[in-house]
A and B are shown apart, each in its own frame.
Chain A
Amino acid sequence: MSRRTLRTKALTGVVALAVVGIGQLLTSHLPDELTELRPFEAAGHIDESVDVRTGSVRVQTVNGGTSLRSPIAAMRTSNLWVVIAYTFTPSQTTTGLFSIEMVAANGMRWSGTASRNQNLCTSSVPGLPIQCQAAIEVPADYIIGAHLELAPTADLTQYDAVAVIDLEITPDVVADWKANPEVTLQGSTLGAS
């Protein structure tokens, strides 16, 4: 093999390796699937209005106890019932707010529509607020530092806007809730509170 042929082959190998390297570099800078699916999160606090895609949401009160009195039934638990009162005001179309989840600091999630939980939030016309309430059963041991995630559509928060509300749950708050024998869930009404 002549020296020239050898040099050409070596050059080809180097170019091929360089192309593969550049390809990997480009791929690593492209958004991966999980990044694409990530919702658009807007952080907020209790009694602060947060914009989501179809309107604005304001969490007003959060209360807890060892039993829940609702329009459907009285439900007791060895865990805790947490009742969240919030207002949703549609901005463009007639709609409600259909996804609410409590999320623990360790990533555990409790949905307002799973198991015996309830999210009572009717639909309203643009500009007219809805008084909503959700009751979520949670284990007392895991909820310190938990936050709330509210989104316009149920079970499909990918790509969508999500309000992330700090619930300010401390050990003292949990102790108070454990000592509270009952919380009440009243339902959803139209109009400002």
Chain B
Amino acid sequence: MAGVSDADVPQEPRDSWSSRLVKHFLGHPLPAVLVALVCVIAATIPFGGFARAEVTKPGLKQLEVGVEHTFGPLKLTIIEASWDTDPQHGQTDRQIYPSVGGAYLMVHAKIRAVGKSEVPFSVLNNVMRVQNLGSMFATAYTHDSISDDGEVTPGKTVPDEEAEYTVANMADAISLPSIGPGMTYDVVFIFGHRGTDFPNELTLHTYDFTWRASSIDGSFDWRDPEVNGQVTMPLKPSKAQQQRLDRASQRAARKAAREQHKHKRAHR
């Protein structure tokens, strides 16, 4: 067989530099994976890339006044909302003293403990928060204070979501730190508010809880309060407060009439 000289072998056409580069990289398995990864990342760019996705909460349940709803181990029926500067005015056995520099916002409700263990403070005191009110004191009783020499120290106000309340038993106005299993109470959730300028409606956010083990000691409890519902109801002065307001406006009207009468007599 006759030998074939190098000069007889047809030469392949020479690639351009770019196709040689692609061939060089894609010819190796690892760079091919990297290139695919870069392509995938590039494809996500129109959708926001790796930016943290906005957490969209499911819509809040619209709760009804007068209907019992369940929040973890607690059943709650919200009845009505009112405000009063001195809810125990005239009573001898006082638990609540007149607000200094504001008024008490009171949410009347029935509560019931379901299950076989008590409803702890962490649930009872985190089941609701007010919305869109402003000028809320940090707790029910952290209102302004007046020293003996008349100096006023303003109480701390906080954003609505941080305003805490006290749950008082209606029967004796004593605070309930927790409630035992099977117990039912008529209660008032008492918030503190600077001033007496209230809207005609009150909106509350309600919170549900998760029964889970602690990551520290493994003990089970109701944890992680999470807003899940909203209820809106009329907000008006309590009956006693309305009577005081009426009496005050009648006094003001009488005083104005006297002034007018005096003024007329002086100009006759």
CB of A28 within 8 Å of the partner chain: no
- B181-A109 in contact (CB<8A): yes
A107 to B180, CA, bound (A): 12
CB of A139 within 8 Å of the partner chain: yes
Beta-carbon nearest neighbor of B95 in chain A: A73
- Least CB distance from B213 to A in Å reads 15
CB of A170 within 8 Å of the partner chain: no
- A115-B179 in contact (CB<8A): yes
- A115-B180 in contact (CB<8A): yes
- A138-B180 in contact (CB<8A): yes
* 82-138 of chain A: CB within 8 A of chain B: 104, 106-111, 114-117, 137-138
- Least CB distance from B192 to A in Å reads 22
A139 to B180, CA, bound (A): 9
- Least CB distance from A191 to B in Å reads 32
Residues of A within 8 A of B186 (CB): 78
- Least CB distance from A181 to B in Å reads 12
A109 to B115, CA, bound (A): 11
Q: Which of B14-22, B77-85, B169-177, B227-235 contacts A (4 or more CB under 8 A)?
A: B169-177
CB of A179 within 8 Å of the partner chain: no
CB of A16 within 8 Å of the partner chain: no
Residues of B within 8 A of A109 (CB): 116-117, 180-181
- Least CB distance from A70 to B in Å reads 11
A79 to B187, CA, bound (A): 13
CB of B93 within 8 Å of the partner chain: yes
- Least CB distance from A107 to B in Å reads 5
Beta-carbon nearest neighbor of B178 in chain A: A115
- B171-A76 in contact (CB<8A): yes
* 148-180 of chain B: CB within 8 A of chain A: 169, 171-172, 174, 176-180
- B182-A139 in contact (CB<8A): yes
- Least CB distance from B77 to A in Å reads 14
- A116-B174 in contact (CB<8A): yes
- B93-A114 in contact (CB<8A): no
- B174-A78 in contact (CB<8A): no
A73 to B168, CA, bound (A): 14
- B174-A79 in contact (CB<8A): no
CB of B221 within 8 Å of the partner chain: no
- Least CB distance from B134 to A in Å reads 33
A139 to B114, CA, bound (A): 12
Residues of B within 8 A of A117 (CB): 180
Given contacts A76-B171, A78-B171, A137-B183, contact A115 B177 (CB under 8 A): yes
Residues of B within 8 A of A172 (CB): none
A137 to B180, CA, bound (A): 8
CB of B222 within 8 Å of the partner chain: no
CB of A37 within 8 Å of the partner chain: no
Beta-carbon nearest neighbor of A79 in chain B: B183
Given contacts A77-B169, A109-B117, A115-B118, contact A142 B182 (CB under 8 A): yes
- A107-B183 in contact (CB<8A): no
- A115-B176 in contact (CB<8A): yes
- A78-B185 in contact (CB<8A): yes
Residues of A within 8 A of B174 (CB): 73, 75, 116
Residues of B within 8 A of A138 (CB): 180, 182-183
- Least CB distance from A80 to B in Å reads 10
- A141-B183 in contact (CB<8A): no
- A114-B178 in contact (CB<8A): yes
A104 to B118, CA, bound (A): 13
Give the top 4 A-B pairs by smallest Cβ distance, nearest first.
A139-B182, A76-B171, A108-B181, A76-B172
Residues of chain A touching chain B, judged by Cβ–Cβ distance below 8 Å, are 67, 73-79, 104, 106-111, 114-117, 137-139, 141-142
Can you spell out 22 A-B residue pairs with CB atoms less than 8 angstroms apart? A73-B174, A74-B93, A74-B172, A75-B174, A77-B171, A78-B184, A79-B183, A107-B116, A109-B117, A109-B180, A110-B118, A111-B118, A111-B180, A114-B118, A115-B118, A115-B176, A115-B177, A115-B178, A115-B180, A138-B183, A139-B180, A139-B184
Given A76-B171, A79-B184; 11 other pairs, CB 8 A cutoff:
A77-B171, A78-B171, A79-B185, A106-B116, A108-B181, A109-B181, A115-B177, A115-B180, A117-B180, A137-B180, A142-B181
